[in-house]
Structure 1
Amino acid sequence: MLASMLGSRMTDGTGALGGEGSLAEVLEGRAGWHLAAADALEFAEELPDGCAHAVWIDPPYCSGGYTETARRQARGMLTSGSVKKLGWFINDNMGSAGLVWLLRCVAVQAFRVLVEGGSLGVFCDWKMIPLLAPALESSGLRWQAMVVWDKEQPGLGTGFRAQHEVVLHFVKGTGVFHDARTGNVLRESRIPTPDRNHQTAKPVSLIERCLAVVVPPGGLVVDLFAGGGSTGVAARRLGMRFVGSEIDPGIAATAKAEISQARSVVRTRGPVAQIPLFGEGK
């Protein structure tokens, strides 16, 4: 029954995919979204096998310094202004080993809950790629691509100031895609600090562009590090179902308020073009 409902579209009369419900109701297609104030791995264990088209996460980056000591002592990767306005969030000053352990466990769960052809997307910065990529790949997922988020303006610092972040993209088996118009460099302006509801919130438009490629309308998106709710908002705007978790109850409440206000936006999808190899099909 669950498999037959994965692609179904249910609306709440406003054009949006159905409203908030329990985890079971979303999985069965009787509600549109569910967000739990819970630990990522504990929540993942509640999800059934083969239920999701994408697990799309923005975990702590643990990038507060170049050495392990600096990372543990740092107040995360944030500027002092962001911390003063929005506060600190748990786990952003883990060491590299802790982050690798956590995300490898997440990837193992993602392999289990994804449908065949489903996608895992993990936001990170360049310093963590050499450590995270092989750990995620060891879950059984295949490293498909690296998406670059061009934030259009460089950040703080000296020398070649960082202007980008990346999404490590993995697939279960042979990836199934639903939009052929999107390249692997996405230009979207970052959210100004005064407008953020979370210290590291990603633009909803950026998440929409990613999800449109890997999830069909009515498909299920999972986010185990929901933060301010950008992924949930993007999923609802695209007519997808969403379930997620956020360990901090206060941040989870903010995310739920954001997701509850989201409404679907009708978009025309491009064809899934298969580019021929070695001149075939010409």
Structure 2
Amino acid sequence: MVARSKPSLLDGAAIGKEGSPDEVIAGSAGWHVATADALDFAEALPDACAHAVWTDPPYCSGGYTESAKRQARGMITHKSVKSMGWFINDNMGSAGIVWLLRCVAVQAFRILVDGGSLGVFCDWRMVPLLAPALESSGLRWQGMVIWDKRAPALGTGFRRQHEVVLHFVKGTGVFHDASTGDVLNVSRLHHEARNHQTAKPPEVIERCLAVVAPPGGLVVDFFTGGGSTGVAARRLGMRFLGSEIDSRIAARAREAIRAQSTDARRVGKAHQLGLFDGE
């Protein structure tokens, strides 16, 4: 493994530039999306290079039973599933996803700087299984962020209108914004033109990243999907490294990230003293 060192911040001239993972880590490029398995990609990253790992894995909510999960064609019946089909790994059983995400959390612990954050989207059914598995990596469970979609899904009874982000920190968390609560009200209807079957609105992720990473800092997503985390990172003037196992979906993510402009007012802050400087 590469020896630990304080992570670089973004070179202002490199903002928006696509480059290799090494260039992004060094700050001479802004982003990279690899077509790769999540764990293979994670193992290639150096120690203590990232300020945040924020990801939306295939958390297998296609059914209430193990048999139903393995046979499911997906978590949702959204029209994007009908048009795009389903995607790899979302019909794993609970044991499979717990194993995978525990391995991801171990790698996140290694690549995060002290005080860095791991955020993992899931739904209520997976919280009791995933939370202790992630915590066993050595990360500390900081809490949960609730995404309120502002409208209930289909169904009967108390129709679900939220998802959860499990939030973990390495050591004592270092945060960069104190204006955001743990309930994010962002309408899912604002993101109907999605390029992935379960894409999250970049606005949700943007509000999370502003809390857990500095401008110019490095954000990593091992399950990039349609690229929402990369889009959010670019909006905030942060660097981004992502991996996506499906080459067609990875291409869509690159297209979305390339098309996203950056708020230039945020980039200059990367050259000011940040919360990680002086350590």
Q: Same fold (TM over 0.5)?
A: yes
Equivalent runs, 1:166-181 vs 2, <5 Å: 166-181=164-179
The amino acid across from 1:119 in the alignment is S
Find out whether 1:248 has 2:250 as its counterpart.
Answer: no
8 Å CA contact retained: 1:52, 1:219: yes
* Map 1:1-282 → 2, pairs under 5 A: 3=5, 6-12=8-14, 17-79=15-77, 81-191=79-189, 194-265=192-263, 266=265
Letter in 1 for 2:71: Q
Query: Is the CA contact (8 Å cut-off) linking 1:236 and 1:263 kept in structure 2?
Result: yes
**One-letter code of the match for 2:158?**
F
SS in 1 for 2:13: coil
Query: 1:29 is aligned with what amino acid?
Result: G
Unaligned residue ranges in structure 2 (runs of 5+): 275-279
Q: CA deviation at 1:80?
A: 6.0
Q: Structure 1: how far apart are the matches of 2:19 and 2:203?
A: 25
For residue 21 of structure 1, report the CA deviation from its aligned partner. 0.3
**Displacement, 1:78?**
2.0
1:264 Cα deviation (Å)? 1.2
AA of the residue aligned to 2:225: G
Alignment-mate amino acid for residue 28 of structure 1: A
Deviation at 1:61, TM superposition (A): 1.9
For 1:233 and 1:2, how far apart are their aligned partners in 2? 28
Displacement of 1:83 in angstroms is: 2.0
Distance 1:193 1:84 in 2: 17
Shift of 1:263: 1.4
d(CA) in 2 for partners of 1:80, 1:129: 23
Please say if residues 49 and 112 of structure 2, whose CA atoms lie closer than 8 Å, have aligned partners that are also in contact: yes
Moved more, 82-91 or 131-140: 82-91
Give how far 1:6 is off.
Answer: 2.1
Q: Is the 8 A contact 1:2 1:27 kept in 2?
A: no
8 A contact 1:236–1:264 mirrored in 2? yes
Equivalences, count: 266
Q: Distance in 2 between matches of 1:19 and 1:150?
A: 33
User: What displacement does 1:261 show?
Assistant: 1.2
1:229-276 per-residue CA deviation (whole Å, 9 max, x = no partner) reads: 00001001100000010000000000000001111123699xx9xxxx
How far does the alpha carbon of each residue in 1:61-102 deviate from its partner, in whole angstroms, 9 at most, with x for none? 200111001111111202063322122100111100000000
Please give the alpha-carbon distance, in whole angstroms, between the structure 1 residues aligned to 2:241 and 2:80.
27
CA distance in 1, matches of 2:106, 2:7: 24
Greater mean deviation of Cα atoms: 232-241 or 74-83: 74-83
Deviation at 1:11, TM superposition (A): 3.3
Whole-Å separation in 2 of the counterparts to 1:56 and 1:145: 14
Residues 58 and 225 of structure 1 are in contact (CA less than 8 Å); yes or no, is this contact kept in structure 2?
Answer: yes
Percent identity between matched residues is 72
| Shift, 1:220, TM fit | 0.2
Structure 1 portions without partners, runs of 5+: 273-282
CA distance in 2, matches of 1:192, 1:238: 19
Residue 191 of structure 1: how far off its partner (Å): 4.4
Give the letter for the 2:19 counterpart: G
Q: Is the 8 A contact 2:213 2:219 kept in 1?
A: yes
Give distance in 2, aligned partners of 1:235 and 1:87.
27
C-alpha displacement of 1:192: 6.2
Supply the distance in 1 between the matched residues of 2:78 and 2:52 (Cα, whole angstroms): 34
Contact 1:71 1:93 in 2 (8 A): yes
Task: Give distance in 1, aligned partners of 2:174 and 2:215.
Answer: 13
Larger displacement relative to structure 2 (126-135 or 189-198) = 189-198
